[in-house]
Amino acid sequence: MTKKLDTLRIAVAQLNPTVGDISGNLAKAREARADAARQGADVVLYTELFLAGYPPEDLVLKPAFLKACEKAAQDFAADTADGGPGVIIGTPLKRKSGTHNSIIFADGGKIIAERYKLDLPNYGEFDEKRVFQAGPEIQGPVNFRGVRIGIPICEDIWGDVGICETLAESGAEILLVPNGSPYYRAKIDVRHQVVIRQVIECGLPMIYANQLGGQDELIFDGASFAIGADKTLAFQMSQFEDAVDVTTWKRTDGGWICSEGPMSKIPDREEADYRACMLGLRDYVNKNGFKNVVLGLSGGIDSAICAALAVDALGEERLRAVMMPYRYTSKDSLKDAEDCARALGCRYDIVPIFEPVEGFLHTLTQLFEGTKEGITEENLQSRARGTILMAISNKFGSMVVTTGNKSEMSVGYATLYGDMNGGFNPIKDLYKMQVYALSRWRNSHVPPGALGPSGEVIPKNIIDKAPSAELRENQTDQDSLPPYPVLDDILECLVENEMGVDDIVARGHDRATVTRIEHLLYIAEYKRRQAAPGVKITRKNFGRDRRYPITNRFRDRS
């Protein structure tokens, strides 16, 4: 008969896998297990679908992918014959009941249990019902060295389907939960409340292990934690950082309690948003094999914060900033761009666009005869700049960082095949006023893991001056848009909260302004469909979370 453990040392592996890199993910898992073994762990808890990377999306439909994941799982299980820690690790498994989002529990050189996710999320950024089948039934706890461990998987604890309560009724003593929970602002508080609710219902302590790293638009921020049976925070791991932390749990008459574990400080709002953008850019560039990046540095706030993010994420030597002046580019912008590049220490080139723009205008003279000069001519400037950046990208293999904020993308104040050119946008989900807030924060702080310098990296004049695209004489953004504090509030009401026009007007906004912004939001959908991916920061980003039709005549005129 197996002797019951009175002390259980559980390692939480909060790591950064890469979707599709099965051998690389297995190597990370092995390294983490070796680290946990050195720390005296009994078992290592990894995150959801770790061997595949999360979310694998339609890769799950490829038989060769599933076969490679299962082989990696079997190989990892065989490692546990060394007498070291057992492992709980996520992987897709194809079984008679379907293809499941699963975990294997391995110990003593073999797989001692499999568990399948029951509640498949199908909202927002999640689309698991497309590729997975739900587990056929709730499976009981796993007996690991005399301890009965329940293993619900991510969404199994988010809904009200009674999985945790059922596990408790079937004898589970503690719940270990692998998760792939993406970041959005204040998401940690939401996770804590979800777990507390389940702990209240089932009466068991719960360990919540969360993935780390960027995967396309999604950012996984780690911040793994546990809530004890007494509903208090038992331990809290760091946010946005790799970690293999071993926690010590003691058996008592009242159940398992955590006697040792980390208690990391969670960043405040600005730091968390900045680090999410930084991590997203770093992982997108590195995981896709780009050696360096290039961006247009205009002297404006958006390109300045993107330059700071690029240097922080990748290092000054991997960023090339290019100023592309035309006749409307002010002396202030030339100075501000140069000062920004100098403060960041990155390469800075000046490539005037007078000749290419004038060449386009000359070529089109006959076709445009008799028409007034306007937005078309302004967009030619933006498209000349976009072409130059793409040429640099093609020649040197640099990824173009595009720099439009969410306010501009919402109302279509961006030029297709111009300033929208690029491979990735780190501020795509930040409204303009949030860009200002993060710029001020960065000038006073250097985030952990940043490769950039301390001090003022975004010149004060860039933050203080009126924003302008500088596509015509004395142009400012507020010539055709309401002030950004007003615009951003209207957009948050429309996009994040799906509020009606009457409700937005009731907040004190002018009705004509609200209806105009709503119209601009709808007619810009075709542009957003062609935009580069970018970091998700809010609850409802453009892309995965908000899927409006391009052809759409609805307007709220009730």
Cα-based distances in Å from 196 to 30, 131, 154, 278, 450? 32, 30, 14, 30, 33
- 151 in a labelled binding site: no
- 361 in a labelled binding site: no
Q: How many residues does the chain have?
A: 558
- 266 in a labelled binding site: no
Active site residue 169: no
CA 337/CA 296 separation, integer angstroms: 10
Active-site residue, from 69, 154, 164, 493: 154
Phi, psi of 501 (to 5 degrees): -60, -45
Is there a contact between 82 and 71 (Cβ–Cβ < 8 Å)?
Answer: no
CA 305/CA 275 separation, integer angstroms: 12
Active-site residue, from 28, 48, 217, 277: 48
Active-site residue, from 28, 117, 428, 536: 117
- 408 in a labelled binding site: yes
- 94 in a labelled binding site: no
Cα-based distances in Å from 538 to 219, 497, 532? 11, 11, 17
Is there a contact between 23 and 258 (Cβ–Cβ < 8 Å)?
Answer: no
Q: Which residues pair with 400 in a beta bridge?
A: 294
Cα-based distances in Å from 281 to 123, 275, 313, 365? 25, 10, 7, 41
- 300 in a labelled binding site: yes
- 61 in a labelled binding site: no
- 303 in a labelled binding site: yes
- 296 in a labelled binding site: yes
- 297 in a labelled binding site: yes
Order of strands, sheet of 147-150, starting from the edge strand that comes earlier in the sequence = 142-144, 147-150, 174-179, 206-210, 225-227, 233-236
- 16 in a labelled binding site: no
Element (H, E) at 255: strand 255-260
CA 2/CA 198 separation, integer angstroms: 30
- 299 in a labelled binding site: yes
Q: Which residues contact 71 (CB under 8 A, 6 or more apart)?
A: none
Q: Which residues contact 5 (CB under 8 A, 6 or more apart)?
A: 42, 145, 146, 147, 251
Please state, as a whole number, how many other Cβ atoms lie within 10 Å of the Cβ of residue 182: 23
- 363 in a labelled binding site: no
Q: What angle, rounded to 10 degrees, do the helices at 331-344 and 301-314 form?
A: 10
- 379 in a labelled binding site: yes
| Residues forming the active site | 48, 117, 154
Q: Which residues are annotated binding-site positions?
A: 123, 181, 187, 296-303, 379, 403, 408, 527
Q: Which residues are annotated binding-site positions for L-glutamine?
A: 123, 181, 187
Q: Which residues are annotated binding-site positions for deamido-NAD(+)?
A: 379, 408, 527
Q: Which residues are annotated binding-site positions for ATP?
A: 296-303, 403
